[in-house]
Structures are given as C-alpha cells and as structure tokens.
Amino acid sequence: RGLPTVIGVVLLNDAETSEPILVLDAGAVTALRTGAVAAVATLALAPAARTAGVVGCGVNGAWTARCLAAAGLTDGVVTDPRAAAAEALAEELGWRAGSLAEVLEQDAVSCVTPGATPVVTEADLRPGLHLNMLGADGPGKAEATVGAVAGCLLFCDEWAQASHGGELTGAVEAGRITRAQVTDLGAVLTGDHPGRGEEARTTMFDSTGLAIQDLAIARAALRALGTGGVEAATVRL
C-alpha cells in the first residue's frame, strides 16, 4: 500500500500527574533510536573506528548512517539493492555508495535489513571489525550466519529479547552460544565491563530495540521543544 513499515504513536505522559505532554510519530522514534544505539555501541565497543559501513538504506538505515556521522564517523560506504537509495544517502552525508564487500571492509559496519537473508558470514570476520546488527527483530530473521555470530565477541541491549527474537537467536537455538558469552551494552556503558578490551576479535552488538530507548528519544524531543530547537503543533484536550 506504500505505507511505512512502522505505524503508530508514542505518547509521553508526565510521571507525576499522568497528563499527556507529547505525541510523537512512532516511525520517527524507532528510526532515531535505532540510529542512536548504533552510534552509542560503536563508540563504546570500537572507539578506534574511523570509517562506517551501512547495509540497508531504508528509513532506519538512513538514520543509522546519520547518527554514525554525527558521532564522528564522517567517512563511510553504504549499500542497498536499490542503487538510487544508496546513492542519495551517500550524497547527503558525503560518503559513497558501494558493494556489500566494500561496506564490510569498513571499521564499524551496521546491518539494517529486513533480516530475510544473512549478509555477514564467518568469512567476513576479521580482528578489529565491529558489527551492529539492527534488522533482525523477530524469530526466523537473521542478518548473519550462525557461524558468524558464534565467531564474535558478543554484546546485546537485553538478553531475554535478543536471544528470543534477535540476531543471537539462531546461535542460541543451535547451542553455539550461551548467556555467559554475551555482555549487556549497559554493563560497558557503566564501566562494569571493559567492552572489547585487549582482545583482537570481531565485536558484534545485537539490538532488538527497547522501550527505554523510545523514552530517551521522547525526552530528548521534549527538551528540544522546550529550548526552541524544534517546532510542534499544539493540541489542547
């Protein structure tokens, strides 16, 4: 029907009075938090990364690229089966459109596809590579082969969700990885885990998206509205 994949609204309420404060387009919130978590994970797990690669230039992929660029990865390569989409995004960011192989050569690679076909295999892994896997959001979806997942130093946003319907699911079901082999990104951000540390391995971050990330985006939008950074229509109930 030509409609967005994500349709809905996010309603932000005052925690003390329960009054509705802000109504946001859920598609925009999803896109921003998907891109933002990719940037946060890259800075935390691959601080030495200088170049970015993005597989998938749809709405979420485009915002992932924009957030990575805003985080300082100003040199990158994007790819998409729709050449025009890749070229348009590359032109916007001053990056370039290329092949999947060229994207996988970059320091930090984010996969933002529908998850129907794996785009990362075990042969693509190399020391120092960081992968953000953002597209697999339900059972049966995967952007990497089981061997590729099992060959990485693994991180996720939330284990129960990632192991049930994220990039980790296939490897968990195959018995290739266990909970003990996966670190929550939050533990790295709070300093309770060193992240990559000194290990010369490929790091992989599996994000399935959390409600708290939506809340963070909604609060950021509210702050921007309060400071005049954005404009919004007003509805009085």
Compute the average pLDDT of residues 134-140: 91
pLDDT(207) > 80: yes
The answer to whether 90 and 75 have CB atoms below 8 angstroms apart is no
Residues 6+ apart with CB under 8 A from 150: 171, 176, 177
Q: Give 51-91 pLDDT, tens digit per residue.
A: 999 999 999 999 999 999 999 999 999 999 999 999 999 99
Residue 106 has pLDDT above 80, yes or no: yes
235 compared with 101, residue with greater pLDDT: 101
Pairwise CA distance, residues 200 & 2, whole Å: 45
Could you tell me which residues come within 8 angstroms of residue 60 by beta carbon, excluding any fewer than 6 positions away? Answer: 30, 31, 34, 35, 112, 134, 135
Residue 199 pLDDT > 80, yes or no?
Answer: no
Burial annotation 176-198 (CB, 10 A radius, 16+ → b, else e): ebeeeebbbbbebeeeeeebbee
Contact 14, 21 (CB under 8 A): yes
pLDDT for position 169 = 97
> pTM of the prediction?
0.94
